[in-house]
Structure 1
Amino acid sequence: MDPATASRLADALLGLHAGIVAFNVAMPPAILLGAWRSWAWVRHRGLRGLHLVSMAVVAAQALLGERCFLTHWESALRRLAGEAGYGAGFVEAWLGRLLYVEVPLAALLPLYIGWALLSLGLWWWVPPTRAPAQSVKR
C-alpha cells in the first residue's frame, strides 16, 4: 500500500472512530431525553442493541487492559504511511486531540464500565420495543 493511501485510510478510520465515540457518549442522554419527550426512535431495538454491544466491547477492552482495536489499526496505517505520530494532518490533528487523551487506561476504566452499566440499565428503564409486524397484502 502506498503511503498516501495508508494516510487517507488512517484519517478515515480516525473519523469512524470519532463517530463511534460520539454515538456511545450521546446515546444514554438521548435515550433519557427521548423517553421523556416520547421519541419513538430511542426505543428502536436494533439501534439500542448496537449501542449496547458497542459499549460492551469498550468495557471488555478496558477490563482486559487493551486500547481500542481501532486505535491499533489506525497506528499501523500511520506507520505504513511513514508518519511518526499525531499532528501531521488536519483530520489527524483535530480529531486525534478530541479522541485520544493522555491518561493511563486504568483512569478511564471506571468511566468505561460505568457508561456501559448505564447503557445496560437503560435497556430496562427505557426498554426498546419490537417493530410492529408488517402485514402482507394479497
Structure 2
Amino acid sequence: MTLLADLVLLAHFAIATFLVTGMLLIPLGAHYQWSWVRSRRYRQIHVGLMVFIALEAIFHITCPLTILEAFLRSAAAPNSFWMHHLSQILFWELPLEFFTALYLLCTLWLVFLWWRIPPRKT
C-alpha cells in the first residue's frame, strides 16, 4: 500500500508540475516561437485541469488524488524519505481561501494566455 500511495503522490506532483511549468513556459515559448505551446490539445488539457482544480477549491471539494493517497496511507506505513519531501512541496498549510484565490488567478492567467497566445486552429 505504501508503494501505491507513493505512486499517487508522485502522479499528483507531476500534475502540479505540469500546470506550473506550463503557465511559465507558454509565454516563454511564444517568445521563442516554440511550436508546442500552440498545440490545441496541450492547451485544452492544461486549462481544463486548472479549471477543474479551481472549481474544486470554489466548492470546497477535496482533490480525488488527495483522498486516494490518504486512504492508501491509512493502511500503510508513513511516507518514505523522498515522498515526505514531495508531500511537503505539494501540500501547504494555508487557509482554503488562499488556494481558492491562487487557483482562480492561475485560471485567469491561462484564459489570458489563451487569448494572447492562441492555440493553432487544427
Q: TM-score range by the shorter chain?
A: over 0.9
Q: Say which one has the larger Rg.
A: 1
Structure of greater relative contact order (alpha carbons < 8 Å, 6+ residues apart): 2
Q: What's the C-alpha RMSD, in Å, of the aligned pairs? A: 1.2
Q: Distance between the aligned counterparts of 1:7 and 1:130, measured in 2?
A: 44
- TM (norm. structure 1) is 0.83
Count of residue pairs the alignment pairs up: 122
- Of residues 105, 118, 122, the one that matches 2:109 is 118
User: Which 5+ residue runs of structure 1 have no aligned equivalent?
Assistant: 1-5, 132-138
The within-5 A match list for 1:47-62 is 47-62=42-57
Q: Following TM superposition, by how much is the alpha carbon of 1:92 offset from its aligned partner in structure 2, in angstroms? A: 2.3
User: Which 5+ residue runs of structure 2 have no aligned equivalent?
Assistant: none
State the percentage of identical aligned residues: 35
The CA deviation string for residues 25-55 of structure 1, in whole angstroms up to 9 with x for no partner, is 1112111001111110100011100001100
- TM (norm. structure 2) is 0.94
Structure in which a larger fraction of residues adopt helix: 2
1:129: which partner in 2? Answer: 120
- Of residues 73, 91, 96, the one that matches 1:105 is 96
Are the equivalent residues in 2 in contact too, given 1:24–1:51 (CA < 8 A)? Answer: yes
The CA deviation string for residues 89-118 of structure 1, in whole angstroms up to 9 with x for no partner, is 123211001101011211211111000111
